[in-house]
Structure 1
Amino acid sequence: MPNKTAVVTGGSRGIGRAIVLALAGAGYQVAFSYVRDETAAMELRGQLQAQGVECLALQCDVASADSVRAFFERVEAHFQRIDLLVNNAGITRDGLLATMPVKDIVEVIQTNLVGTLLCCQQVVPGMMRQRGGCIVNIGSVAAQKPGKGQSNYAAAKGGVEALTRALAVELSPRNIRVNAVAPGIVKTEMSTALIGSQEEEIQSRLLIKRYAEPEEIAEAVLYLAERGLYLTGEVLPVNGGLKMP
């Protein structure tokens, strides 16, 4: 179908940026959101526009229902339709639960889980009218194989996996597929900051002795969107064979 439109949340850096580039390379028009890094967002938008890709970059905090609503209103006004939603935006606030500030619990669940729900809620009516569409949520290996200090993040991403399955059931009569990708450790600024002194221990748990490149996660998203047409309600692990300690 010509002029397919994809929306990627948290698309200016890291995994999100790789997803935006992969989708643009596959022929999608792309809208993506960013929270703070306007410089990176404008650089990516400029790169795509120079390649002739129709691209929209807008500020949006997925933790805010009002911000999410305004973002999707602008996207739909510009492109008229949304064929693919990739819920990538997320944050971490790792720490031991016994001493974790309530703020860190609430912010992680609000952004990673509630934010994903809010974005799905915005695209579903249009996809139902079109009688077709695709949603890909970005989960995490932490939902199934969490590390120490990840109780808030693991709970949020576990919720994303459950949401993926429930929404697939709800939307299948309208030809809308819902799946998730669950990355392991990916070479991004966020991961580098979190790994710190634990690198040797983490490497020992990987069957494939390296971290994933952002582009490898983007390829999994592209597969679910374009080629995995008999998949819905599934979570695709891309974690290098990460073992429990």
Structure 2
Amino acid sequence: MARLEGKVAIITGAAQGMGAAHARRFVEEGAKVVLTDLNEEKGSQFASELGENALFLKQNVTSAEDWANVVAKAEEKFGPVNILVNNAGITMAKSILETTEEEYRRIVDINQVSVFLGMKTVIPSMQKAGGGSIVNISSINGIVGGAVGYTDTKFAVRGMTKAAAVECSHYGIRVNSVHPGVIATPMVVQEDTKAAVEEFAKHIPLKRVAQPEEVTNLVLYLASDESSYSTGAEFIVDGGITAM
């Protein structure tokens, strides 16, 4: 039997990159998937490619109203939600002195507040479903330090995950965080960063960056019933960077 047979999932930031890899695999494993993104053109095209078990919705993840609409549409189309993958996020690589208040608040809203809103909005739907799994995508910068703003929000996602896991355990809802290292997504392998990424890869113990599907394998495990005794934990997929 497919590993997500009969499950309903919401995946944010799913028009491309890791989110798209997760969505494709989830559909292959039997889930009905609501993909959300701000990129309406790419998202709609991708959902059409995935077929009748995929629905695309344009979403601003910092909007409580948008979150309510996504969950309502998911229930209307497929039924109560079993899985939420909070994947949407942005990066920023500036020093504290260079970062404006506006830039800082923007990354906090997108990377951190959106995760809070997603969990808060989806929990009642998961209660209807009799339980569920929330997978929050953080980063290795939620384990070790990095750029201001990005690191702060990824540590926050890790902390929120633990707090929510304890609270939601009473509802049969598991909450875990995933901490990817350097992943070969469009944002990472674009021409202006490609050389730097290739140089950095030499210092990774496994000597390469990861493919999105390698993160998907972990996200799939956490979304499925196979991880039924895992909650409130962080799962690292980084080729050994944080072991150094």
The range that moved more, 15-24 or 76-85, is 76-85
Identity of aligned residues (%): 32
Q: 2:13 aligns with which of 6, 10, 14?
A: 10
Instruction: Output the TM-score relative to the length of structure 2.
Output: 0.92
Rounded Cα–Cα distance in structure 2 between residues aligned with 1:205 and 1:169: 37
1:1-245 map, 5 Å: 2-35=5-38, 37-49=39-51, 53-147=52-146, 150-193=147-190, 195=193, 198-199=196-197, 201-226=199-224, 227-243=226-242
Q: Secondary structure at the match of 1:96?
A: coil
1:191-241 Cα deviation digits (max 9, x unpaired): 235845533552243101111101111111001112211100011000011
Q: Secondary structure at the match of 1:192?
A: coil
Instruction: Output the TM-score relative to the length of structure 1.
Output: 0.91
Shift of residue 2, structure 1, vs aligned partner = 5.0
Does the 8 A contact of 1:205 with 1:243 survive in 2?
no
The number of residue pairs the alignment matches comes to 239
Does the 8 A contact of 1:145 with 1:244 survive in 2?
no
Q: Which runs of 5+ in 2 are unaligned?
A: none
Q: Secondary structure at the match of 1:159?
A: helix
Considering only aligned residues, what root-mean-square deviation do their CA atoms show, in Å? 1.8
Rounded Cα–Cα distance in structure 2 between residues aligned with 1:90 and 1:144: 17
Give the letter aligned to residue 104 of structure 1.
Answer: E
The range that moved more, 194-203 or 134-143, is 194-203
Change (3 A) 1:200 1:30: closer
1:127-156 Cα deviation digits (max 9, x unpaired): 123331110010101112233xx1101100
Change (3 A) 1:243 1:235: closer
1:40-88 Cα deviation digits (max 9, x unpaired): 2122111111xxx411100001012222222222222222210100000
Moved segments of 4+, more than 6 Å: none
Rounded Cα–Cα distance in structure 1 between residues aligned with 2:91 and 2:54: 28
Rounded Cα–Cα distance in structure 1 between residues aligned with 2:164 and 2:95: 31
Change (3 A) 1:66 1:208: same
Rounded Cα–Cα distance in structure 2 between residues aligned with 1:146 and 1:134: 28
Shift of residue 190, structure 1, vs aligned partner = 1.6
Rounded Cα–Cα distance in structure 1 between residues aligned with 2:143 and 2:126: 30
The range that moved more, 15-24 or 65-74, is 65-74
Does the 8 A contact of 1:208 with 1:241 survive in 2?
yes
Q: Secondary structure at the match of 1:66?
A: helix
Rounded Cα–Cα distance in structure 1 between residues aligned with 2:154 and 2:10: 20
Does the 8 A contact of 1:205 with 1:244 survive in 2?
no
1:99-131 Cα deviation digits (max 9, x unpaired): 111121111110111001101111101212333
Q: Which runs of 5+ in 1 are unaligned?
A: none
